[in-house]
Structure 1
Amino acid sequence: MTGTVPSFALLPGAEESSVLLHVPHSARAIPDEVRAGIVLGDPELERELDHITDAHTAEIAERAAALAGFTPWRFVNRLSRLVVDPERFPDEREEMLAVGMGAVYTRTTHRGELRPADTDPGPLLERYFRPYARAMTEAVAGRLAATGRAVIIDVHSYPAEPLPYELHASGPRPPVCLGTDAFHTPPELAEAARKAFAGCGGTGLDSPFAGTYVPLEFYGRDARVGALMVEIRRDTYMTEPGGPAGPGLGRLASALASLVDSV
């Protein structure tokens, strides 16, 4: 791609809304200077983007925001996670480093080479990761200041069949996987999500993906920040991999709007 694409966008909602829909993996855009460090040819890169991108999740969040009684705020990544993955830890605590998929990926979903293994992640972290983290922290702080609490709902998708990079692929793959955190996901939030998505084929907890995203400033410290990860199995709303959305998208957007309204 040429030209400049903003790294992320905070899309305002109702001032009285405590909900922040976070969409980190929906984009395919890769700046030219980042593309230069990726070893895949163009056709191979497009195939990798088909597999790694949470396609149409930004549209699901946008439709849900329009349907909700109080418009939630949205924080949307405008760049591919192949630039940086804003939900990874940028250090050795991140288990995905084991498969070359920490904050800066060096391996693909099929464990092929994406970047040289000795790539210095520092410049990408400084240019893209840290500004994103600061802005997300400020967005959460804004909801806390305005409403006294913040509820981060991560909007993700995952493939019907496991990809080779997945570390926990042997468990259930429900139509909607709800990722939780012992500190930041109160039982009533998980139950509200279960009810909201009941008409979308069923839900499961923490399989095949677990946990939530909370900025480190609040993580494990501030119980006013609630968090839930919504992982939607892609065959329920789109043609895999990387294909168009189908009628399931509208049903999922309505369910997400119901969840927003219930919290």
Structure 2
Amino acid sequence: MSADAASFSLLPGAEGSPVILHVPHSARAIPPEARAGIVLDDGSLERELDHITDAHTAEIAELAARSARLAPWRFVNLLSRLVVDPERFPDEREEMLSVGMGAVYTRTTHGRALRPAGADPGPLVDRYFRPYARAMSEAVGERLAAVGRAVIIDVHSYPSERLPYELHGDGPRPPVCLGTDSFHTPAALTAAAREAFAAVGETGLDSPFGGTYVPLEYYGSEPRVSALMVEIRRDTYMTEPGGPAGPGLPLLAAALAGLVEAVSV
């Protein structure tokens, strides 16, 4: 397996399932070639990983997939988002560039330098970002070919208290935030998510994080691809920042499984 292929994993589900659980930010691994460009010492890097990683979201997705009657597919990033963030635009369209968090981060969650000013993101984008994007596009295309539609459920988490890098963090921070897209998130998908997560607590829309992930090949042009971002507030299931999971995790996994089942029919 090449280094690029080892940076993500597509875990098969049922052939008849349209659902892809996308888990982009759960890992902490940083390969040596990516670590070489980071200016933080080891201790500071570990603390940054505590803040930036959507800890235990891969486990939530795995438990949900195991318990759903029709198993979803799972696309999981095996590397930290400090290598590349596969959900950013790799160019000037990315608003998070203003805080040093484009496809390749140059600043930390608290505004410290992560990589030197003027560092070239190209090598990391070419080695990790582009293969990831191609593979995710192919996974969506396979669901379209197999069942005629694809439903991307983006599994994230966010801190209970706003971090300095958040551009839109002054609004509500509900237990579950649902990120939506005007083209790719039908009302029925949002309603299904609200019902599925009702046992967890209040759900909100697009605050503190909005939007959802769709591969650019399909974005804004393929109505058979629907998508929803599920942002789980971390204090509902883990010790912040970067600590162990708690008793809330199985409840969230069950809720996610309920959403998978609701949108699979």
User: Which bin holds the TM-score, normalised by the shorter protein?
Assistant: over 0.9
Q: Would you say the 8 A contact 1:200–1:252 is kept in 2?
A: yes
- How far the C-alpha of 1:4 sits from its partner, in A, is 9.4
2:63 corresponding residue in structure 1: 63
1:222-242 Cα distance to aligned partner (Å, 9 max, x none) = 000000000000000000000
CA separation of 1:47 and 1:177: change in aligned 2, threshold 3 A = same
Secondary structure of the 2:199 match is helix
- How far the C-alpha of 1:33 sits from its partner, in A, is 1.1
- How far the C-alpha of 1:178 sits from its partner, in A, is 0.2
Structure-1 separation of matches of 2:167 and 2:88: 15
Structure-2 separation of matches of 1:238 and 1:5: 30
CA RMSD of aligned residues (A): 1.0
1:236 corresponding residue in structure 2: 236
Q: Which runs of 5+ in 2 are unaligned?
A: none
CA separation of 1:145 and 1:242: change in aligned 2, threshold 3 A = same
Structure-2 separation of matches of 1:32 and 1:185: 38
Task: State how 1:68-217 maps to structure 2 within 5 Å.
Answer: 68-217=68-217
Q: Amino acid of the residue matched to residue 168 of structure 1?
A: H
Runs of 4+ in 1 over 2 A off after TM superposition: none
1:123-142 Cα distance to aligned partner (Å, 9 max, x none) = 00000000000000000000
Structure-2 separation of matches of 1:33 and 1:93: 26
Q: Amino acid of the residue matched to residue 169 of structure 2?
A: A
Q: Amino acid of the residue matched to residue 170 of structure 2?
A: S
1:111-157 Cα distance to aligned partner (Å, 9 max, x none) = 00000120001000000000000000000000000000000000000
Q: Would you say the 8 A contact 2:4–2:127 is kept in 1?
A: no
Structure-2 separation of matches of 1:54 and 1:6: 20
Secondary structure of the 1:192 match is helix
Q: Would you say the 8 A contact 2:4–2:128 is kept in 1?
A: no
Secondary structure of the 1:240 match is coil
Structure-2 separation of matches of 1:54 and 1:223: 29
What's the % identity of the aligned pairs? 78
- In the superposition, the TM-score normalised over structure 2's length comes to 0.97
- In the superposition, the TM-score normalised over structure 1's length comes to 0.98
- How far the C-alpha of 1:6 sits from its partner, in A, is 1.4
